[in-house]
Amino acid sequence: MLIVAGAVSLTVALGSARSQQPEEPAEPLTIEVSPNRLTIEVGEKASLTATVRNAAGVVVDGATVVYFSRARRSVAVTRGGEVEAYQPGDFTLIALVPSDPDDDSRRPDARVEVEIPVTVPKPEVERIAFTTVPLKFYAGTRPRLAVEVIDVVGDTRTDVEVSYTTSAPRVAAVDRFGFLTLLQSGTVEIVASAGGVSDTLSVAVDANPVNSLELHASAATVRTGDVVRLTAIAKDARGLTVREVPVQYGVGGQTAPGIIAAGAAAQIAEDGRFVAERSGTYTVVASTGSHSAARTVSVERREVRREVEVVGRGKVLDRHTSDLWIWEGTDGRDYAITGTWGADGHAYVWDVTDPANIEKLTEVQVDARTVNDVKVSEDGDVAVISREGASDRQNGIVVLGVGNPREGVPVLSEFTDQLTGGVHNVFISEGHVFALSAGRRFDVISIEDPRNPHRVGRFELETPAHSVHDVWVSDGVAFSSNWTDGVVAIDVGGGGRGGTPAHPVELGRYDYPSGWTHAAFPYRSHSTGKFYLFAGDESFPFGAFNPEKGGAPSRATGWIHVIDWSDWDTPRDVARYQVPEAGSHNLWIEDDVMYVAFYNGGLRVVDISGELMGDLYKQGREIAMFLPGDPQGFIANAPFVWGPQPFKGHIFFTDWNTGLWAVKLADHTGPGAIIGEPQ
């Protein structure tokens, strides 16, 4: 039997044990912990006492017991068995006796240990308070009340059931969701209760002054995906507009003949915005309780579908291809640069002046395994490529001269300082490179003298576990994509808050529950002037696959979020473009058309003209879809589109398994296949 009494003595004992084989297995031990289960409140402490006994039941003095918690940030336990609770819930502590490493008789998993269940009840409710209260209450209407529940440790609780009562049911009824039904004028007290505490709201219900209700629509005939604004105007007996009257909207109707079992074909928002996914006739009804009004809208098919024609290719079949950039050189010819992934650190430069005859001009090789990103300056003179997997682990970026690739692509400089963690993405704006550093921040590197790059600034979030994937700069505002922290807008010279490349200033941020924020493209709509930020997800929830040559294709998920960011302080997620069978990657928007890579879902081209709301895919806004493939591809016949860029009437894109493509959209020749629409 080996008892752990201390490190030194244990080592000596071990040496002794090794010098002679034990003739009998070590005696089995047992461990008991008192108490063997715990219930403690948040912020409270308790003590555990462990007793180790041998097979004869005799207490083993000085036995070493190791304690740990499976949720140490919720319940902690010290080496001495002192327990402290931080969060409510059910947790498990472990107490174990280390085994003898020389005891081969005992099964490896027969370690002497015991679990101690710990229950930390949810804190009691301390107070409840009404938060959102309308200014006026009118009979016949149905406003909703909101409350906030706070517990004794100061947390806002959303898991506590709230009950409501009314003191005058003839004046007002209230349901369990907090909706009031105001029946007649008078006074009433509404009480909200939770966890033994309550709050009372005195409500004076006025006679409803509404004498008539009008409903106006911004358009009577639209296409699927077009947003119609319904405006309800309530007037009193004098014909004057009545404000602060709650209006509720509903929509019903019929889809066009031939559309069967369409599902939810149209939607109406609380502010009266309407959009339809299917053609048909829809009636919107507005109600103030006492009065209602209806307006019918006719919705036609959007008919934007176009076919894709392949124009040319720059085949890369022996390795994966990453990103691309197309530009016009100083010689007036058009060029492309593409990166490679998981190979030998190459970037390729192509002449794409004639997209039907793409010509590889040169290969640039750097010490890397992946050149994940390639960017070219606005003047087409300088390119920056990123490095990952360098043999010396220095990584960083390389600056190339690309003004006239036919005359060569010289290496002007490289920059690795504090960029050792691999530069996954870069962007060039006004003589500065925005380069990601180890996936945690972006550095701003001046390349005003491209032969002497130097760091001038950086930007990093302060949130726990922050991480950055991409940065895109437009009009002096950088948009960084930060996974669970969402998209962050940063003034680097054009945001109006004094930010510069050397001293970036945050303008605002927006995150969403999935935490998949991967890329961002800022865009001001040509048709509406509205500023949107298109945030793209990237997610692979279906696990690993084999990316080797001849391996198996994979499948992504995630979509494009359309964020109305007219005000830096109040971003709103208003629409999405989601492909059911695939997930998004890089995107580009130009002339109210979005070009987006959807990995295994290929290249998608989407009409984003007009105001955007709802599910753009189901609205029939998809102009085109193209699935590249090649039986000789690095992974055969496996579309995996990385990123697109429209340029001079063509759409260039890279595909991970096949290289560079140039396609164009054929002229619209009539209604094509539209999801759920009759042919």
Residues numbered 512 to 541 that lie near other proteins (CB under 8 A) are: 538, 540
Sheet architecture: strand order including 614-615 = 517-524, 531-537, 560-564, 572-577, 614-615
Check residue 451 for interaction with other proteins (CB under 8 A): no
Check residue 345 for interaction with other proteins (CB under 8 A): yes
Check residue 342 for interaction with other proteins (CB under 8 A): yes
The helix (H) or strand (E) run that includes residue 165 is strand 163-166
Check residue 389 for interaction with other proteins (CB under 8 A): yes
The phi and psi torsions of 14 (rounded to 5 degrees) equal -65, -45
Residue 64: CB minimum distance to other proteins, A? 6
Closer by beta carbon to other proteins, 455 or else 466: 466
Residue 396: CB minimum distance to other proteins, A? 10
Residue 363: CB minimum distance to other proteins, A? 8
Q: How many CB atoms neighbour CB 263 within 10 A?
A: 9
Q: Which of residues 400-429 bind other proteins (CB under 8 A)?
A: 411, 420-422, 424
Q: Which of residues 545-564 bind other proteins (CB under 8 A)?
A: 545-548, 554
Task: Tell me how far CA of residue 128 lies from CA of 148, 158, 180, 199, in angstroms.
Answer: 6, 11, 18, 6
Closer by beta carbon to other proteins, 113 or else 307: 113
Closer by beta carbon to other proteins, 321 or else 619: 321
- Kindly indicate which of the ranges 91-99, 134-142, 206-214, 426-434 contains the residues binding other proteins, using the contact rule CB under 8 A: 91-99
The answer to whether the beta carbons of residues 316 and 660 sit under 8 Å apart is yes
Q: How many CB atoms neighbour CB 654 within 10 A?
A: 29
Check residue 637 for interaction with other proteins (CB under 8 A): no
Check residue 348 for interaction with other proteins (CB under 8 A): no
Closer by beta carbon to other proteins, 316 or else 574: 316
Check residue 439 for interaction with other proteins (CB under 8 A): yes
**Choice from 53, 142, 333, 440 touching other proteins (CB under 8 A):** 440
- Kindly indicate which of the ranges 198-206, 325-333, 461-469, 566-574 contains the residues binding other proteins, using the contact rule CB under 8 A: 461-469
Q: How many CB atoms neighbour CB 75 within 10 A?
A: 26
Check residue 634 for interaction with other proteins (CB under 8 A): no
Residue 628 gets which letter from DSSP?
-
- Kindly indicate which of the ranges 98-106, 166-174, 610-618, 644-652 contains the residues binding other proteins, using the contact rule CB under 8 A: 98-106
The answer to whether the beta carbons of residues 255 and 298 sit under 8 Å apart is no
Burial class (CB in 10 A: 0-12, 13-18, 19+), 540: middle
Check residue 109 for interaction with other proteins (CB under 8 A): yes
Burial class (CB in 10 A: 0-12, 13-18, 19+), 111: exposed
Provide the sign of the torsion angle of the four alpha carbons 252, 257, 262, 265, taken in this order.
negative
Check residue 484 for interaction with other proteins (CB under 8 A): yes
Check residue 110 for interaction with other proteins (CB under 8 A): no
In order, the DSSP letters of 471-517 are: EEEETTEEEEE-BTT-EEEEESSSSSSS--SSS-EEEEEE--TT--E
Sheet architecture: strand order including 441-446 = 426-429, 432-437, 441-446, 454-459
Closer by beta carbon to other proteins, 538 or else 630: 538
Residue 28: CB minimum distance to other proteins, A? 16
Closer by beta carbon to other proteins, 439 or else 672: 439
- Kindly indicate which of the ranges 28-36, 108-116, 147-155, 219-227 contains the residues binding other proteins, using the contact rule CB under 8 A: 108-116
Residue 394: CB minimum distance to other proteins, A? 7
The phi and psi torsions of 18 (rounded to 5 degrees) equal -70, -25
Residue 83: CB minimum distance to other proteins, A? 14
Q: How many CB atoms neighbour CB 679 within 10 A?
A: 7
Helix (H, G, I), strand (E, B) or coil at 205: strand
Residue 656: CB minimum distance to other proteins, A? 7
Q: What whole-number distance in Å separates Cα of residue 280 and Cα of residue 151?
A: 50
Check residue 369 for interaction with other proteins (CB under 8 A): yes
The answer to whether the beta carbons of residues 444 and 417 sit under 8 Å apart is no
The helix (H) or strand (E) run that includes residue 276 is strand 273-276
Check residue 195 for interaction with other proteins (CB under 8 A): no
Closer by beta carbon to other proteins, 494 or else 547: 547
Check residue 111 for interaction with other proteins (CB under 8 A): yes
Per-residue x/- track, 640-679, other proteins (CB under 8 A): --x-------------x-----------------------
Residue 155: CB minimum distance to other proteins, A? 24
Closer by beta carbon to other proteins, 66 or else 220: 66
In order, the DSSP letters of 5-42 are: --HHHHHHHHHHHHHS--SSPPPP-EEEEESSSEE--T
Check residue 185 for interaction with other proteins (CB under 8 A): no
Check residue 282 for interaction with other proteins (CB under 8 A): no
Check residue 209 for interaction with other proteins (CB under 8 A): no
Which residue, 317, 335, 313, is CA-closest to 382?
335
**Choice from 242, 364, 612, 651 touching other proteins (CB under 8 A):** 364
Q: What whole-number distance in Å separates Cα of residue 435 and Cα of residue 418?
A: 11
**Choice from 100, 277, 607, 677 touching other proteins (CB under 8 A):** 100
Check residue 391 for interaction with other proteins (CB under 8 A): yes
- Kindly indicate which of the ranges 46-54, 63-71, 165-173, 195-203 contains the residues binding other proteins, using the contact rule CB under 8 A: 63-71
> In the beta sheet, which residues pair with residue 582?
none
